[in-house]
Amino acid sequence: MIMHREYAYKYGKTKVHFTLDADLIIDELCIKEYPSLPDPVESVKAAIRNPIGARPLRDIVKPGETVAFIVNDTTRVANSHVFMPILFDELNAAGIPDKDMWIVFALGTHRLMTAEEMAGEVGTDVAKRVKMYNSDCKDKSQFQYYGTTSYGTPVYFNKQVVAADHIVCTGSVVHHFFAGFGGGRKAMLPGVSYYETVRKNHSLMLDPNAVIGRLEGNPIYHDQIEGTEMCRPSFLLNVVLNEKKEFLKVFAGDYILAHQECCRFVNEVYGVPVRKEADLVIASCGGYPKDINVYQLQKTMDNTWCAVREGGVVIILGECAEGSGSAAYEKNMQKYVTPEQVAAAVKADFQIGAHKAYAVTRLMKKAEFILVSSMEPELAKLLLFTPAKDLEEALKIAFTKLGSSQPGIILMPMGSLTVPLINNG
């Protein structure tokens, strides 16, 4: 007797209901419930006073010395407004006045921030106390050259950062689709680096080892560390947040060692051990706004890629009410009709922005991606997805492609958050 299970997965602002043969389900991957910190302020103080692999912050900076703090921009939520006042107060107590400290925002290649946005990130009190600067990657005069890495990356860091006696990196950590994890050294490179530094470093994403959840052996990471070591930060404060932007844990200390501990924790929270790769993965991005366009949907694609076998199929429930999310991305895909062509073009001329087409299509070499969305089928095909009007049609296409009515299936109801870890638990 076939037992069927019923499911309801988020799709845009609604839900898709479906049933599957229970015997086909290998696993349903869900994020662990992890308690938020009851008192984040005290946790931050404890972390900077009992750091990993370094002396306490107040023992590192001496009176008369200067400090540059690198802070996330608006594209990366870190709750900087909570911990930045604590860092300044801690150094004030150690004899470091506000005039000897300043903030540089880690924009990477993102747009410049307004004064209001800066104040919003660090809090109005901190904004009144210290000077704050954008790092404009396109203005070469803002950067100082330090050398070239063994990977061929010319290393330029923002002069406002390197002018200080001490550099303190801050930020939040999540999985990153080609750098392994965010946070740590990324505050420096790409955070406060010149455009050419970022472009050359990011071109290493063409390497097959530049994947989500991997630091060791990942050329992007090793290149970033090599560059950052040319102007080594004195201290790091990284935080891990949950989906509600609540603090789960705080890490501080040596910018490499504390970050590695932080990444292990991120794997504990967002990583889900999987016994084996599946023939078929069915995933929801988690609904609006995580599936508002293909740009946002890519995170779910990266995560499902970790769970599907070579030659398998992925079905993604993603409404994509705003289509691809990028006219430049669509224009790029009009030129190239296979993942191989996209890869060749990016390899010949790697540019920030155009790399998005490669980031999406490289995943399609491993598995077929069927997209259940509100996009026109022609647009989905242009982006190299197999379009389906609903899950029923998607399942028919998948079963035909796999040549089986009994494929092993992994379900991912929160595809944008859960990162499958094969043979890791």
Question: Taking the mean position of all CA atoms in its chain, how far away is CA 32?
Answer: 19
Domains and CATH numbers, the chain: 4-30+275-422 (3.90.226.30), 40-269 (3.40.50.11440)
CB atoms within 10 A of CB 179: 26
Spatial separation of the C-alpha atoms in residues 366 and 152, rounded to whole Å: 29
* Contact indicator for 147, 158 with CB cutoff of 8 Å: no
Candidate from 8-12, 119-123, 181-185, 343-347 with smallest mean pLDDT: 343-347
Reported residue count of the chain is: 425
Residue 114 has pLDDT above 80, yes or no: yes
Average of pLDDT values for 36-40?
98
Average of pLDDT values for 28-50?
95
Average of pLDDT values for 73-81?
90
pLDDT at 405: 85
Residue 244 has pLDDT above 90, yes or no: no
State how beta strands 419-422 and 409-412 pair: unpaired
Percent with pLDDT over 90 in the chain? 88
pTM as predicted: 0.89
Q: Which two tokens stand for residue 176?
A: 């990153």
DSSP-assigned beta bridge partners for residue 17: 8
DSSP-assigned beta bridge partners for residue 145: 156
The predicted-structure confidence for 376-409, as pLDDT tens digits, reads as follows 999 999 999 999 999 999 999 999 999 988 999 9
Residue 354 has pLDDT above 90, yes or no: no
Spatial separation of the C-alpha atoms in residues 129 and 410, rounded to whole Å: 51
Average of pLDDT values for 310-331?
93
Cα distances (Å, whole numbers) of residue 293 to 235, 329, 385: 37, 12, 13
pLDDT at 425: 39
Query: H or E segment at 382?
Result: helix 377-382
Residues 6+ apart with CB under 8 A from 282: 314, 315, 317, 391, 409, 410, 411, 412
Average of pLDDT values for 39-49?
98
Spatial separation of the C-alpha atoms in residues 123 and 83, rounded to whole Å: 10
Environment class of 209 (CB within 10 Å of its CB; exposed 0-12, middle 13-18, buried 19+): middle
* Contact indicator for 170, 84 with CB cutoff of 8 Å: yes
pLDDT at 342: 92
pLDDT band at 1 (very low <50, low <70, confident <90, very high): low
Residue 424 has pLDDT above 60, yes or no: no
Edge-first strand listing for the sheet containing 278-284: 25-28, 409-412, 278-284, 308-317, 367-372, 386-388
Question: Taking the mean position of all CA atoms in its chain, how far away is CA 273?
Answer: 19
CA angle 280, 341, 370 (to 5 degrees): 20
Q: What is the DSSP code string of 274-341?
A: ESS-EEEEEEE--STTTTSSHHHHHHHHHHHHTTEEEEEEEEEE---TTTTS-HHHHHHHHH--SHHH
Please state, rounded to an integer, the average pLDDT across all residues of the chain: 95
Candidate from 173-182, 241-250, 352-361 with smallest mean pLDDT: 352-361
Q: Which two tokens stand for residue 352?
A: 């920030």
More confident position, 295 or 134: 134
Average of pLDDT values for 200-214?
95
Residue 54 has pLDDT above 70, yes or no: yes
pLDDT band at 139 (very low <50, low <70, confident <90, very high): very high
pLDDT band at 32 (very low <50, low <70, confident <90, very high): confident
